[in-house]
Structure 1
Amino acid sequence: MRLRTLLTSTALAAAAVAVPAAVAAPPAVAAPAGCTASEADIYAAAGGVSGNPGDLLACREVKLSNIPGDIPMKGYKVRYVSTDAKGAKNVVTGTVAVPTAAWTKGGSRPTVAFNPGTLGSGQQCAFSKQLAGQFVDMYEGGNLALFLKAGYAVAATDGVGYVAGQVHTYMIGANAGHALLDAVRSSRQIPGGTLKPDGKVGISGYSEGGAASLWGAQLASSYAPELDVVGAAAGGVPGDLKLTAKQLNGSLFAGFLADALVGLNAAYPEMPFNELMNDQGKQAIKDVKGNCLFGTLAVFLGAKVENYSKQKLTLDQLYALKGPDGTSWGEIVDRQKLGVDIGTASSGAKYKIGFPVFQYRGWLEEIIPHETEDGTRAAYCKAGINTTWKNTYPTEHLSTDWGAAGDVTNFLGDRFEGKPVKGNC
């Protein structure tokens, strides 16, 4: 089903959902004795954060009812330590799924680090809650089923901002990449778990998850050098947020832009934002914080950013605004651009990538500008990264996620088996 049709039908019934009240944070601890944490423990407010990146703070064994196929597995919700874009420790939640069938292909069972596509910013939208059947507004349970049927474990991050009192920092690159890598670290600390430190790691995500996947790839060697990352797959990637925002503004999919603006404010609260809003803008912030994917798209159908601030500020005018240290919004948005200062493992680049990457998009892509998806691929090729590219799926944005799922699983499976791949730059 095309996303445009799905959105139209959803918009007729969409309504805002209230954000749950904050819950007091439990004390931060290192490895829990068992996976007996309550729901409140998993999603409690962060409070003071101690421990190292990837430390498991709490876990809860759950049935992942929204992964189809009745695959025998152990499923867990996890709460773990990560690092935000400013270098401060934070708390992130996620899901770990491990097949119960023995791994028989040699070595330790590999893990797919997975970041979902856009789910929305409401607390109820967390991927871990949706996989467990507590809310249904997601579409990637089948993708995870393919990984699990192949025998791979999955460490799926919710991303930053789904604990009580926070807002999802949508499209903040370092936050996403760190949270994704730390999900793998935490998966190996589950009490009684079977995942080993030497297990190979593949990274995967589409759309928002595709950007997170490439950020995880770019940060892996410096942030988590002990992880044996062997490949990354990323599709529908909004690599340049300025190009993407320009296309989204006033479109059927302006809700993604609304999520991004509120997410930027959540990550950089010192920057001018709330004080700029008119009454419509104040309501828009509440709408973003209360809705999941389709509710947000319905509320902001055709919305233009100029209508939400007192001075009718355009995107370019917003980018020009500066914070207390002189940094502009435009500079912060540019920091999220993918493919900048990347290089091979032997290069002097800031972000070193020493493993193959698979990038892809649908031929009928209608949400993310082709220029930025193609441009991200071109930047990786120019940097000498072993890049496989495919843009021939006869699909639009949402259906490409499903249409490419088999190729993604096979690409990562080949990397786990150590098969060589020659990119098609």
Structure 2
Amino acid sequence: MSRRPLSSATVLAATLATCGVLLLPAGTAGAAARAAVPAPGSVPPDQDPFYAAPADIADYRPGQVVASRPVPNPTLDWIPMPVDVWQLSYRSNDSNDQPELAVTSLVVPKRAWTGAGARPVVSLQSPEDSLGTQCAPSYLLAGGQDNQDAALGVELLAANWAVAIPDHEGPKSVFLAGPQEGHAVLDGIRAVRDFGADGIGKANPWALSGYSGGANATGWAAQLQPGYAPDVPLVGAAIGGTPAAPRAVAKYIDGTSFAGFEFAAAYGVATEWPGSGITSLLNPRGQQDFAGLRGQCESAILSSFAFRRLNEDTTVPDPFGVPSVAAVLQQDTLGAQPPVVPVYDYHADTDEIVPVGQDDQLVSDWCAKGATVQSVRDLLGEHVEEAAVRETAVSVYLGDRFAGRPAPSSC
């Protein structure tokens, strides 16, 4: 089956974007405006007008495309097949339901889809785990840089599926702000479906996948979909090494070599929910540390905060016990509503970064509310290893869902 021809509007969008032109959809303010923009991946997002929200972003509907551009001649060493790559910006909502601009990358194999029905698409959430826009998947992908999507994405593309990779931390690069991440994922799917590039439109079936920080975003998208995006049907979701409960994860890694994740999460939660009062609890050292955290990527955060304890930066011995902090962390914990999409949940029992117990609680909570969850636990394995161990199993699970086979359940 050959790819569906592009509409004239899509061809026009591609032509303008190839020439370095930012295209706004018809019917919006400044629809005819054209602004020269840098080549994708040539400058960090903070310096790229493509990532800047229009003044009337609130007038866009969630998932409505704001701008689009192809990534010309993508040099992606980790993708072993010819692909087309697009960047789409679109309106989404943060955790407080305030409008914001989000970006997703669509990767479509050039090889024609010959399977039954339309080509499957997977929204793959990267474990970005960072606090700077220069760490965003779209920027790394467009610049040809290897990143944490590599191992996860190759297996999906090898199946000749399309893959969408949203910048799920949003324009503020907030780490572990679950509702915001879920919105960005679901609105990214809406944007890709409406854009219609390379035969990817409303007829294509969608699934979700993510590991670690990407699993948190994936879980939130699955949980929020029935209420936030009932127009976005999903056939399956796979989550691994999931940090479902930020408080439990933070206590687990406090004072360890992975304490940087705790500090990054505290910064992200403080940014997304100022009412948590986290910044008011900081002592002088904490104020200095938070200033240094801004804009940092994962490797720098982990090296700077290894073996640190969070209460070294606060005026109280147990910052998690402060009512305003505890309330926000509870709000940011997965499990309150069941997803309607079947879920494959995998985790290493010996995970040294994300404790398996809080993920077991998520499975229990979802199952009790009627969800379909296949829970897989590996007796041995490190956090990073688990992603590789279950890589093929994830593709098989999602392939079965695309094929319409009944989903197994451990509930």
| TM interval, short-chain normalised | 0.7 to 0.9
Structure 1 distance, partners of 2:217, 2:123, is: 10
1:361 paired with 2:365, answer no
Corresponding residue number in structure 2 for 1:316 = 320
**Pairing partner for 2:92 from 79, 82, 89:** 82
Write the deviation string for residues 210-252 of structure 1: whole angstroms up to 9, x where unpaired. 1111111111122221222011101111112221111122111
Structure 2 distance, partners of 1:386, 1:316, is: 32
1:334 paired with 2:330, answer yes
Unmatched tracts of structure 1, length 5 or more:
1-25, 321-327, 343-352
For residues 251-400 of structure 1, what are the structure 2 equivalents within 5 Å? Answer: 251-309=256-314, 311-317=315-321, 319-320=322-323, 328-342=324-338, 353-392=339-378, 394-400=380-386
Structure 1 distance, partners of 2:110, 2:184, is: 25
Write the deviation string for residues 25-71 of structure 1: whole angstroms up to 9, x where unpaired. x9994368999854512223564413111111122212554461431
**Pairing partner for 1:218 from 216, 223, 246:** 223
For residues 124-135 of structure 1, what are the structure 2 equivalents within 5 Å? Answer: 124-133=134-143
Structure 2 distance, partners of 1:88, 1:302, is: 36
* 1:382 maps to amino acid: A
Corresponding residue number in structure 2 for 1:41 = 49
Q: Secondary structure at the match of 1:290?
A: coil
Corresponding residue number in structure 1 for 2:109 = 99
Structure 2 distance, partners of 1:296, 1:47, is: 33
| Residues 67 and 379 (structure 1), Cα distance of their counterparts in 2 relative to 1, 3 Å cut | farther
For residues 30-69 of structure 1, what are the structure 2 equivalents within 5 Å? Answer: 30=25, 38=38, 39=40, 40-44=48-52, 47-49=55-57, 50-62=59-71, 63-66=73-76, 68-69=78-79
| Residues 64 and 260 (structure 1), Cα distance of their counterparts in 2 relative to 1, 3 Å cut | farther
Corresponding residue number in structure 2 for 1:204 = 209
> 1:121, 1:288 within 8 Å by CA — same for their partners in 2?
yes
Moved more, 193-202 or 385-394: 385-394
RMSD: 2.5
Corresponding residue number in structure 2 for 1:110 = 120
Corresponding residue number in structure 2 for 1:23 = none
Structure with bigger RCO (C-alpha 8 Å, 6+ apart): 1
TM-score (norm 1): 0.82
1:373 Cα deviation after fit: 1.4
> 1:67, 1:145 within 8 Å by CA — same for their partners in 2?
no
1:406 paired with 2:392, answer yes
Write the deviation string for residues 51-103 of structure 1: whole angstroms up to 9, x where unpaired. 11111112221255446143111112221111122222111122111111111
Q: Secondary structure at the match of 1:197?
A: coil
1:233 paired with 2:233, answer no
1:383 Cα deviation after fit: 2.3
| Residues 335 and 29 (structure 1), Cα distance of their counterparts in 2 relative to 1, 3 Å cut | same
> 2:337, 2:366 within 8 Å by CA — same for their partners in 1?
no
| Residues 77 and 416 (structure 1), Cα distance of their counterparts in 2 relative to 1, 3 Å cut | same
| Residues 396 and 35 (structure 1), Cα distance of their counterparts in 2 relative to 1, 3 Å cut | farther
Q: Secondary structure at the match of 1:338?
A: coil
Q: Secondary structure at the match of 1:96?
A: strand
Structure 2 distance, partners of 1:119, 1:93, is: 17
For residues 128-147 of structure 1, what are the structure 2 equivalents within 5 Å? Answer: 128-133=138-143, 138-147=147-156
Corresponding residue number in structure 2 for 1:16 = none
* 2:186 maps to amino acid: L
**Between structures 1 and 2, the one with greater helix share:** 2
> 2:128, 2:148 within 8 Å by CA — same for their partners in 1?
no
Unmatched tracts of structure 2, length 5 or more:
1-20, 41-47
Structure 2 distance, partners of 1:403, 1:43, is: 35
* 1:118 maps to amino acid: E
> 2:247, 2:320 within 8 Å by CA — same for their partners in 1?
no
Structure 2 distance, partners of 1:363, 1:64, is: 38
1:123 Cα deviation after fit: 2.0
Q: Secondary structure at the match of 2:385?
A: helix
> 1:71, 1:99 within 8 Å by CA — same for their partners in 2?
yes
| Residues 186 and 313 (structure 1), Cα distance of their counterparts in 2 relative to 1, 3 Å cut | same
Q: Secondary structure at the match of 2:200?
A: coil
1:270 Cα deviation after fit: 4.1
> 1:305, 1:313 within 8 Å by CA — same for their partners in 2?
no
Write the deviation string for residues 265-317 of structure 1: whole angstroms up to 9, x where unpaired. 211234423343333222222332232111111100011111113x2442234
| Residues 198 and 204 (structure 1), Cα distance of their counterparts in 2 relative to 1, 3 Å cut | same
> 2:22, 2:35 within 8 Å by CA — same for their partners in 1?
no
Corresponding residue number in structure 2 for 1:9 = none
| Residues 146 and 37 (structure 1), Cα distance of their counterparts in 2 relative to 1, 3 Å cut | farther
Question: Across the two proteins, how many residue pairs are aligned to each other?
Answer: 376
Q: Secondary structure at the match of 2:194?
A: coil
Moved more, 150-159 or 60-69: 60-69
